[in-house]
Amino acid sequence: MARSTIKDVAREAGVSVGSVSRVLNGLPVSPRLRQKVEEARSLLQYEPNSLARSMRTNSTGAVGFFVPDVANPLYGAIINSLDRRLNARGLMLLLASGRGRMARDVVAEFRRRQVDGLIFVPDSEDDADLMHDLERFSAPTVIQSVEFPSRFYGVRVGYRDGTRQAVDYLLDLGHRRIALLTPLPHLWPGRERQAGYREAFRQHDLTVDDDLIRPLAIGRDPLPDLKAVMQGPDRATALILPGSHILALALQQAREHGLSIPHDLSIISIGDNDWVATYAPAITTLRWPVETLVDALVDLLINQMDDRSLRPVQVIVPTELVLRDSCGPVPSTDGRAC
C-alpha cells in the first residue's frame, strides 16, 4: 500500500486538507477538529512528507557539512558534536567529503538540495572558483580553518598562540633545536603554526633554523622529514608534531635510534586523544577544544539563519597546552658540536 498523504487524512477525518495542515503545524483550531485529525492521523500512521513541505516553505531543515576526509578522527569528533547540536535544533546533517575539485561539485549538490545552512572545511584556499561558489551560496555559510578576511563567517583554531606557547615552553626547558612538522602554509593551520613558532624565537631573540621547519604535504610520507630532523650531530632535541599518526611514527623512530623520551628527545603533539594520554610516557599535547569549536560553528550558523543581515564574524578558538611527561630539559651530552 502506498504512503498515506494529507488528503487521505482529510478524507478519513472528514475535513479539508487545509485544516489538517493547520493541526499539523500547531495553528489555532477547535479542539473538536484537532481530535478528529489526530485520530485519522494515527489510524493511517500518517507522516508528513518533508519534501513537499520543504518545497512550500523553502526550508529543508538540512545543514550541509563538507570535510576533506571523514576518516580523520579529528573530524569524527566534530561530526559527532555537530550532529548532536543540530539535532537539538531540529536540523539534520547532510554529509559530504572529498578533495580537490570534488569540493565544487559538493557545493553545487548542496545548492540543489536547498540546504538551510552550510559548514565547510576546505582543503585549500587557492581554489578561486570554489571560493566564488561559496561566496554566492544562497544559504548561511560558515567556513572552518581557512582565512578569508571579512567576507565569510569563519571559525578557526588559534594555532599561532598555541604553537608560540608550546615553543616557549620548550625554549624555557633549554631547547634550541626544535623541529616543527606542520601542514603546508597554504592553509591557516600550517601558516599559523609556523608564525607562532617564529614569534616565540623572535621574542627570545633567537634565530630560526629553517631546516627544522618541515611543511608536510597531505598524503606525503612524513618519514624522510622525521629522519632528517632526528639524525645527525645537529639533530633536533624537541619535536612538535601535527597529529597522532606522525607521532606514532616518531615514537617508533625514537626507539630505533635508542632515543628515550623525554630524556633524549622531547615531544609535543597537536591534537589530544586517549592513547597519547595513556602512552608511556604520557605525551604533552596542544589540545584544541572540539566542543568549543563546534559551538562556535553552530552559533555562527544559527545567528545567520535568524538574521540574514548580520555582518560576517570570525571566531578564533584558543588551544590549550596539556603538560604531561614527554618533555624534559635539553640533553647536555649530545646534539651540539663542541
Partner DNA sequence: TTGAAAGCGCTAACAA
Partner DNA sequence: TTGTTAGCGCTTTCAA
Residues near DNA (CB under 7 A) are 2-3, 5-7, 14-22, 24-25, 28-30, 32-33, 48-49, 52-53, 55-57
Given the complex with a second copy, which of 200 and 267 has the nearer CB atom? Answer: 267
Q: Using CB under 8 A as the criterion, which residues of the chain lie in contact with a second copy when the complex forms?
A: 3, 47-52, 54-55, 60, 62, 69-73, 75-77, 79-81, 83-84, 87, 92-98, 108-109, 111-114, 138, 244-245, 247-249, 251-252, 255, 274-275, 277-280
CB of residue 70 vs a second copy: minimum separation in angstroms? 4
Return the one option of DNA, a second copy, none that residue 96 interacts with (CB less than 5 to 8 A, by type): a second copy
Q: Tell me which of a second copy, DNA, none is bound by residue 25, counting a contact when its beta carbon lies within the kind-specific cut-off of 5 to 8 angstroms.
A: DNA
Backbone angles phi, psi at 176, to 5 degrees: -125, -35
Select the binding partner of residue 329 from DNA, a second copy, none (C-beta < 5 to 8 A, by kind). Answer: none
Nearer to DNA, 113 or 132 (CB): 113
Least distance CB 9 / a second copy (angstroms): 14
Closest among 159, 125, 128, 155 to 141, alpha carbons compared: 155
Q: How many whole angstroms from its chain centre is CA 258? A: 36
- Output 221 or 234, the one with its CB closest to a second copy: 221
Whose Cβ is closer to DNA: residue 2's or residue 337's? Answer: 2
